[in-house]
Amino acid sequence: MGDKGTFLYEIWVARGSLLSGAALTMQLSLAVIAIGSFIGCFGGLGLVYGPAPLRLAIRSVVEVLRGVPVLVLILFCYYGLALFSIDVTAPAAGVIALSGFCAAHMSETFRGAVASIPVGQTEAAKAIGMRFWQRLTYVILPQAARRMLPPWVNTGVEIVKGTTLLSIIGVVELLLSTQQAIARNYLIIQFYLAAALIYIIINFSVSQLGAWLERRFAYFRY
Amino acid sequence: MIDYQFNFDVIWRNWDNFLGALGMGLGLAAASLTLGAILGLGLAAARISGKRWLDRPVWLYVELVRNTPLLLLIFFVYFGLPEIGIYVLDKYHSFILTLTLYAAAYMCEVFRAGLTSIPNGYLEAGKAIGLRPAQRARYVMLPMMFRITLPAMSNNFISLFKDTSLAAAIAVPELTFTARQVNANTFRVVEAWLTASILYLAAAYLIAWALRRVERRYAMIR
Amino acid sequence: MASSDMSSEPLLRATNVHKRFDSVEVLKGIDLDVAQGEVVAIIGSSGSGKTTMLRCINLLEEYDDGEIHIDGETIGYRIVGGVRKRLRESAIADQRARIGMVFQGFNLFPHMTAEQNVMLGLTKVQKMPKAEARDRAVHWLDRVGLAERREHYPYQLSGGQQQRVAIARAVAMDPRLVLFDEVTSALDPELVAEVLSVMKSLAESGMTMLVVSHEMLFVRDVATRVVFMDGGRIAAEGPPAEVMGNPSSERLRSFLGRFHGLFG
Ligand SMILES: Nc1ncnc2c1ncn2[C@@H]1O[C@H](COP(=O)(O)OP(=O)(O)O)[C@@H](O)[C@H]1O
Ligand SMILES: [Mg+2]
């Protein structure tokens, strides 16, 4: 493994904490994407089909969540929720804030995708007597899903990158575990590059998954 | 709200700090976005040059940068460059350099998409009246690209402006940093973060409004 | 389903139908009856309200005044305390299922094969078992001459083929009435005939049809009655030979004049 102080030696020493940091990054990302997308679908439904007051309410929340930096959302949640004597851990506060961000973007994505389906599709479905949920399930959503995919993947990548902000409130995800290793061995350049490589691999996998899904959905054209 | 008494006095007492911090963020964004747009345009030109040795490295740069967390890049530049003998950058210049490189990758993609979406007929019309390649670029491609990409650019601008909040991580006294200081010194948690959020939102809307005016001014009938 | 001999009314009866878009009145009191087995053609210049009328009948537009009955039943609305109230979406969906519609732009579902396009309403709206629905789809795709194309997606079909699939999708539902809105207008000239011949054979099989068309030869040969719409009103009505051969007004004469030589 080389001598103490060389990159190979030090990364071998730090492998456990780096890997657990990377694992936490992925867990946090998955949780945020799952929660955020789930809420975002309902937000999007409300934006397209909801009554005017509901649309206005969702629209306002979405605008606020998209207009305020994620870091501010995170710090607000972290320091703010404690005031309610809600005992949130740092990771929980982070997941809540990032999920809000993710949900806001998904709502907008969902709305845009559904709105881009030509009205003729809805009318053709109405013409054969389908009800709202049937039109949604069999006609609108299968087509909208494909249009949602690219922005969804983008949001996923943003979330993975966004989890680094949790290092600021002390969550030992990949970036903070890298910094902790650097504090011991001073291999600043090498360790940041190594961490960057891991992020790139994770994000590349997310994009590949997205591309695979897109191919799966590519059986029809417009 | 459990026992929480709002008290905005500390905000008014720190009002100059907040405004100065907002100005700092806007200044950082303006500098980085200007430089990033110029660099991004050059990168986009390389991408569509048709020369593989230009196109491929730029593609790689864009992919690597867009898949790496900004916070990691900020630390890498700020702490890493001195390691390789570059000491001249203070935290402000270091941050501007990082955000410029980051913005350039995103701008490159926006510009490239805009350039390739220009219908061929316009370029042929330019050829037909005898314009040279550089003239076609100057009089046909750039103006059309500018108009086509304006909406995407304003999204990018706002998102990159929000990214100035990450400068707080290297103690640049912008809004997030200031809010955190007020939070820590006065325990007026909600007031501090609410003020920061509102100022961010206001600035984001101001940017959006200004760019929409530009968009209208340069609206193109398509 | 109410059978037509239970009431003295024809299959479709529209009385005094009004429709406004904002302040513009597009339908200014339409009265129209279509009896079982009739093929009624609607002609008229662009903007005269033909599409709007069909869309009102299929409840794709809400009409503002008047009534539309199918088999004696008011569709789209009920009167509560003297006030018109639009029916719930589910009730409207049931009523729509009894009326087929073929669009100018096909509107096939791009993510489904021809067969799936036809089967969708059968399995999801009529709750027909899959196997039966597939048999029905195959039967109708065969009727429109596309049996071998049933695995194809819309983008793999020509415009004429897409429109024939759309017709199969409409008639497979076994509707009481089928609406056709300029279904050949978006087609290349050489593809028009294949669609018209499908429509002709449907007419001959006794299907009740309400057809907006500019294909005057088709109208003359296939329609049992012609309705001329002008400025949101029905300006002339009668057997094709009478309406088209002996135009009753200057407006109708000048409209038909544009098609002169085609059938004159
Ligand atoms: N959704 C709508 N909103 C406003 N005006 C409409 C709408 N649909 C149709 N119109 C207007 O109604 C009139 C009749 O249109 P339409 O029924 O499509 O005529 P036709 O099918 O006979 O050409 C036209 O003047 C058209 O501009
Ligand atoms: Mg029409």
DSSP, residue by residue, A204-217? HHHHHHHHHHHHHT
Q: How far apart are the first and last CA of chain B?
A: 52
Kindly give the number of the ligand 1 atom that is closest to the alpha carbon of C49: 17
Task: Please provide residue A79's backbone torsions phi and psi, each rounded to the nearest 5 degrees.
Answer: -80, -30
Kindly give the number of the ligand 1 atom that is closest to the alpha carbon of C229: 22
Copy the structure tokens of residue A60: 């306002």
Q: Residue C179 burial by CB count (10 A; 0-12/13-18/19+): exposed, middle or buried?
A: buried
C177 three-state secondary structure:
strand
Residue nearest to atom 25 of ligand 1 (CA): C47
* Res. B125: pLDDT tops 80: no
Residue nearest to atom 5 of ligand 1 (CA): C21
Higher pLDDT, B36 or B82: B36
Q: Residue B136 and residue B142: Cα distance in Å, rounded?
A: 8
In chain A, what residues touch C170 (CB-CB under 8 Å)? 127-128
Residue C260 carries which side chain, given as an amino acid letter?
Answer: H
* Res. B129: pLDDT tops 80: no
Nearest by CB: A83 against B79, B175, B189 = B189
In chain A, what residues touch B189 (CB-CB under 8 Å)? 79-80, 82-83
Which of A206, A203, A208, A222 lies closest to A147, judged by CA? A222
Q: How confident is the model at residue B83 (pLDDT cuts 50, 70, 90)?
A: confident
Tens digits of residue pLDDT in B7-30: 778 788 888 888 999 999 999 999
In chain A the domains, ranked by start, together with CATH numbers, are 26-216 (1.10.3720.10)
Radius of gyration of chain A, Cα coordinates, nearest whole angstrom: 21
In chain A, what residues touch B197 (CB-CB under 8 Å)? 64, 68, 72, 76
* Res. C3: pLDDT tops 50: no
Q: Residue B149 and residue B4: Cα distance in Å, rounded?
A: 47
C130 contact A CB<8A: no
Q: Give percent of chain A with pLDDT exceeding 90.
A: 79
Chain C interface disruption, residue of A121, A122, A126, A128, most C CBs within 10 A: A128
- Ligand 1 center to residue C57 CA distance, Å? 15
Q: Residue B54 and residue B112: Cα distance in Å, rounded?
A: 14
Ligand 1 close to Cβ of residue C19 (< 6 A): no
> In this structure, are residues B93 and A220 in contact, taking their beta carbons and an 8 Å threshold?
no
- Contacts of residue B169, defined as CB under 8 A and 6 or more positions apart, other chains included, come to A168, B71, B74, B75
Kindly give the number of the ligand 1 atom that is closest to the alpha carbon of C44: 22
Kindly give the number of the ligand 1 atom that is closest to the alpha carbon of C52: 17
**Stretch 149-168 of chain C: residues touching chain A, C-beta under 8 Å:** 153-155, 166
Say whether the C–B interface has 3 or more Cβ pairs within 8 Å. no
pTM of the model: 0.82
In this prediction, residues A166-189 reach a mean pLDDT of: 93
- Ligand 2 center to residue C210 CA distance, Å? 13
Q: Domain B9-220's class? A: mainly alpha
Task: Tell me C228's DSSP state.
Answer: E
Ligand 1 close to Cβ of residue C213 (< 6 A): no
**Stretch 124-163 of chain A: residues touching chain C, C-beta under 8 Å:** 124-132, 134, 138-139, 142-143, 146
Q: How confident is the model at residue B216 (pLDDT cuts 50, 70, 90)?
A: confident
Residue located via tokens 């002609």:
C43
- Contacts of residue A139, defined as CB under 8 A and 6 or more positions apart, other chains included, come to A121, A122, A124, A125, A130, C109, C120
C34 three-state secondary structure:
strand
Q: How confident is the model at residue B54 (pLDDT cuts 50, 70, 90)?
A: very high
Produce one character per residue of B86-97: b if its CB has 16 or more CB atoms within 10 Å, e if not: eeebeebebbbb
Produce one character per residue of B117-148: b if its CB has 16 or more CB atoms within 10 Å, e if not: eeeeeebeebeeeebeeeebbeebbeebbebb
Ligand 1 close to Cβ of residue C46 (< 6 A): yes
B85 three-state secondary structure:
coil
> Strands C65-70 and C12-21, how do they pair?
antiparallel
Structure confidence at residue A85 (pLDDT):
66
Q: Determine, for residues C111 and A126 on separate chains, whether the beta-carbon distance falls below 8 Å.
A: no
* Res. B77: pLDDT tops 60: yes
* Res. B130: pLDDT tops 60: no
Tens digits of residue pLDDT in C139-191: 999 999 999 999 999 989 999 999 999 999 999 999 999 999 999 999 999 99
Residue nearest to atom 27 of ligand 1 (CA): C47
Distances (CA, A) of A179 to A21, A57, A71, A176: 11, 41, 19, 5
Ligand 1 close to Cβ of residue C116 (< 6 A): no
Residue B177 carries which side chain, given as an amino acid letter?
Answer: F
Residues written for chain A: 222
Copy the structure tokens of residue B113: 């998409």
> In this structure, are residues A70 and A36 in contact, taking their beta carbons and an 8 Å threshold?
no
Ligand 1 close to Cβ of residue C90 (< 6 A): no
- Give the H or E element holding residue A160: helix A141-162
> In this structure, are residues C68 and C14 in contact, taking their beta carbons and an 8 Å threshold?
yes
In this prediction, residues B109-122 reach a mean pLDDT of: 88
Kindly list the partner chains of chain B, i.e. chains with 3 or more CB atom pairs below 8 Å: A
Which of C75, C72, C66 lies closest to C36, judged by CA? C72
| Substitution site in C50, C52, C53 for ligand 1 pocket (most atoms within 8 Å of beta carbon) | C52
C74 three-state secondary structure:
strand
C236: left (phi over 0), alpha (psi -120 to 50) or beta: beta
In chain B, what residues touch A80 (CB-CB under 8 Å)? 189-190, 193
Q: Residue A212 burial by CB count (10 A; 0-12/13-18/19+): exposed, middle or buried?
A: exposed
User: How far off is chain C from A129, nearest CA to CA, in Å?
Assistant: 4
> In this structure, are residues A68 and B201 in contact, taking their beta carbons and an 8 Å threshold?
yes
In this prediction, residues C44-68 reach a mean pLDDT of: 94
Cβ atoms < 10 Å from Cβ of C62: 13
In this prediction, residues C249-264 reach a mean pLDDT of: 78
User: How far off is chain B from A59, nearest CA to CA, in Å?
Assistant: 14
Nearest by CB: C89 against A128, A132, A146 = A132
Prediction ipTM score: 0.92
Q: Residue C119 and residue A51: Cα distance in Å, rounded?
A: 33
- Give the H or E element holding residue B138: none
User: How far off is chain A from C93, nearest CA to CA, in Å?
Assistant: 4
Nearest by CB: A131 against C90, C100, C101 = C90
> In this structure, are residues C164 and C146 in contact, taking their beta carbons and an 8 Å threshold?
yes
HSE (CB half, 13 Å, CA atoms) of C123? 15
Question: Which residue ranges make up each domain of chain B?
Answer: 9-220
Helices (H), chain C: 50-57, 89-97, 114-124, 130-143, 159-171, 189-204, 216-222, 240-245, 250-257
Copy the structure tokens of residue A82: 């404690």
B128 three-state secondary structure:
helix
Which of B102, B30, B97, B57 lies closest to A161, judged by CA? B102
- Contacts of residue C2, defined as CB under 8 A and 6 or more positions apart, other chains included, come to C71, C72, C73
User: Rounded mean pLDDT of chain B?
Assistant: 88
Q: Determine, for residues C107 and A138 on separate chains, whether the beta-carbon distance falls below 8 Å.
A: no
**Stretch 97-126 of chain C: residues touching chain A, C-beta under 8 Å:** 97-101, 103, 105, 107-112, 120-121, 124-125
Chain B interface disruption, residue of A72, A154, A160, A167, most B CBs within 10 A: A72
Task: Tell me C72's DSSP state.
Answer: T
Residue located via tokens 């006294």:
B173
- What angle, 0 to 180 degrees and rounded to 10, lies between the N-to-C axes of helices C189-204 and C159-171? 20
Copy the structure tokens of residue A36: 């955020």
Among positive and negative, which fits the CA dihedral B166, B169, B170, B176? positive
Residue C103 carries which side chain, given as an amino acid letter?
Answer: F
Nearest by CB: B72 against A80, A157, A199 = A199
Ligand 1 close to Cβ of residue C52 (< 6 A): yes
In this prediction, residues A159-173 reach a mean pLDDT of: 96
- What angle, 0 to 180 degrees and rounded to 10, lies between the N-to-C axes of helices C159-171 and A119-127? 40
Question: Residue C26: nearest ligand to its CA?
Answer: 1
Q: How confident is the model at residue C1 (pLDDT cuts 50, 70, 90)?
A: very low
The torsion defined by the Cα of A6, A7, A13 and A19, in degrees rounded to 10, comes to 180
